[in-house]
Chains A and B, each alone.
Chain A
Amino acid sequence: MIPFQFVTAFLLICMGIYAFLYKRNLIKLILALDIIDSGIHLLLISLGYRLENGVLPTAPIYTGYETLKGTPMVGPIPQALVLTSIVIGVCVLALAMALTINAYRHYGSLDINKLRRLRG
């Protein structure tokens, strides 16, 4: 059977792509970008899981309570790269919102079928 983490990630990506293609409000397009980001991050993190025979892994932190030198740990590299990607997603969202506010001021509506005139 396919693990449920991959199914959820692919569903999120497909729903985000559908909303990005067929909706007309600008704010909904920006939210669709955020949903696609969330799907990709879930896919990347769930690829780092590790299953020794019978022992459940823990987070990659040496807390001193239950992690001695032999307990299996989840891979830490995908988590470090997804951390960077989350911050970049927030930056793209902030810039897109600033552009949307300026577009609403110029055209008076948020419908992308009406934003067609390229005037100075």
Chain B
Amino acid sequence: MNRTLGALALLFILGVLLIVANPQYGLKFGLGGSEWQKYRYTDQYYIEHGIEEVGGTNIVTDIVFDYRGYDTLGEATVLFTAIAGAVALLRPWRRDEDEE
């Protein structure tokens, strides 16, 4: 009973999301032409001026390490913290001999 109600509620949410993605009055898929210039001018700037300002021909690596390098610094910190926490949780601990 609970399980069926949950499945029906999730199907309702899926229907609402599919109505949001309708191409006429919702999310637009595949902009082009003048709409690209109006909504995505930052992408156009990075594609045009990426090589002469940074020097790498891979535009995505350009963005990740030079234009938005601050986010990569935050991500390196999260990686370090998660690995340190996981290794610290799986170490032999001195209280085990008291419990057994």
Contacts and interface: CB of A to CB of B under 8 A. Distances in A.
Chief secondary structure at chain B's binding surface: helix
Nearest to A102: B89
Interface residues of A, number: 47
Interface residues of B, number: 44
A80 B63 contact: yes
Nearest to B7: A18
Contacts of A52: 32-33
Interface secondary structure of A, over-half rule? helix
Interface of B: 3, 6-7, 10-11, 13-14, 17-18, 21-23, 27, 29-33, 36, 40, 42-43, 46-47, 51, 57-60, 63-64, 68, 71-72, 75, 78-79, 81-83, 85-86, 89-90
Given A73-B47, A75-B43, 17 more contacts: A2-B22, A3-B30, A6-B21, A10-B21, A22-B3, A46-B29, A48-B43, A50-B30, A52-B32, A61-B57, A64-B57, A73-B59, A80-B64, A91-B78, A94-B82, A94-B83, A95-B86
